[in-house]
Amino acid sequence: MTKTDAAALTADLIRCPSVTPEEGGALVLLQGLLADAGFECTRVDRGGIANLFARWGAKGHARTFGFNGHTDVVPVGDEAAWTMPPFGAEIKEGIMYGRGATDMKSGVAAFAAAAIDFVQTTPPEGAIILTITGDEEGDALDGTTALLDYMDREDEKMAVCLVGEPTCPNEMGDMMKIGRRGSLTAYFTFTGIQGHSAYPHRAKNPLPAMARLMDRMSSHSLDEGTDHFDASTLAVVTMDTGNPATNVIPAECRATVNIRFNDAHSGASLTDWMQGLVDEVAQDTGVEIGISVKISGESFITPPGPLSDLVAAAVTAETGRTPELSTSGGTSDARFVQHHCPVVEFGLVGKTMHKVDENVPVDQIHQLKEIYSRILRDYFA
């Protein structure tokens, strides 16, 4: 039997211009390949977002290995800054270029290729499920969450799940993710009274209140880290007045804060803490302060055990490296999957993701397929 070429599949996917929320032909391509290999495929589109559910094997089997990934990509940006066509998948000196080459069409292609070859050569006693979304890089409201909602309705169940995000910072195999920090963004609006800057007593300046609150928040140490997480971080990401005049005290200003937090906190506890500071500063300054919080995801961890051991052993066997079990980095759709089943993440080196001339060494795509193939063999052994 001819083996499925993961690099060729990666190239085909890159040539699909699937910038969020466009499907771009990527899921149509995958569905055709998986269906031809005997996977039962269902489109689970919601809210204008394309999603694909594919299962090989019996529904509801206790040994069901799941994979989660995405085919949507971030925008190209300044196309003139690219030295290679962003959707060309051109190869130069063993390097494949294109948007999504690293994040994460190569990961999807590597697992799909591994799964197709595996079920055709050594059909396992169990099932394999792929959940592929077109909304990981966007708001993520109708992507993996839609797929998980579908699975709940249809009594589909993954026993464990691997997410194919790029996890390695420097070398192939040097890191896998067993959890992620939580993330929230808080938006503040400060409302005072506009006036002449020469007569500040006739106005109520919201800027000192904003500066005071932002200083109190950014100078506070949230924690010193926990067993599996680094210390939580808080960053003031913008402070805006939109005031072009030097002789006018503005009536309003705004600020935004982003917090990445570990398992010592929850989105609710951090919101309560910020609200307490808001109330204190508002009382001290007389400035009205509004706060709106968007929680992108709570922190979570899959404790080291059978699943992380399985993935780590396969990575070591194929790369010679023992991956660090990490919870670093941003958010991923693993934050949704963790409510369904134990989940870990492993994928390529992520140095070029979201960058101009995003690229991946072709041999790493093949290596990733071999790692995923070994994971499947060992899981069903």
Determine phi and psi for 148, rounding to 5 degrees.
Answer: -70, -35
Closest to 185 measured CA to CA, from 297, 335, 293: 293
According to the model, what pLDDT value does residue 378 have? 98
pLDDT in tens, 12-38: 999 999 999 999 999 999 999 999 999
Summarize pLDDT for 310-342 with one digit per residue, the tens. 999 999 999 999 999 999 988 899 999 999 999
Residues taking part in catalysis: 72, 136
Query: In the chain, what are the domains?
Result: 6-180+300-380 (3.40.630.10), 182-297 (3.30.70.360)
% of the chain beyond a pLDDT of 90: 98
Mean pLDDT of the chain: 97
**What average pLDDT does range 124-137 have in this prediction?**
97
Cis bond before residue 104 (omega within 30° of 0)? yes
- The whole-angstrom separation of Cα 157 and Cα 161 is 10
As a whole number, mean pLDDT of residues 99-126 equals 97
pLDDT value, residue 2: 85
According to DSSP, the β-strands at 160-163 and 343-345 are parallel
Mean pLDDT within 351-367: 97
Of 14, 294, 23, 238, the closest CA to residue 132 belongs to 23
Q: Read off the pLDDT of each residue in 78-87 and give the average, rounded to a whole number.
A: 97
Q: What is the pLDDT of residue 139?
A: 87
Torsion of CA 213, 217, 220, 226, to 10 degrees: 160
Pairing of strands 252-261, 182-191: antiparallel
* Per-residue pLDDT tens over the stretch 137-193: 998 999 999 999 999 999 999 999 999 999 999 999 999 999 999 999 999 999 999
Q: pTM of the entire structure?
A: 0.90
Q: Collect all residues with Cβ–Cβ distance below 8 Å to 348 and sequence separation of at least 6.
A: 102, 104, 106, 107, 166, 167, 168, 172, 360, 364, 365, 368
Beta carbons within 8 Å of 202's beta carbon, 6+ residues apart: 195, 196
Say if residue 1's pLDDT is above 80: no
Read off the pLDDT of each residue in 41-54 and give the average, rounded to a whole number.
98
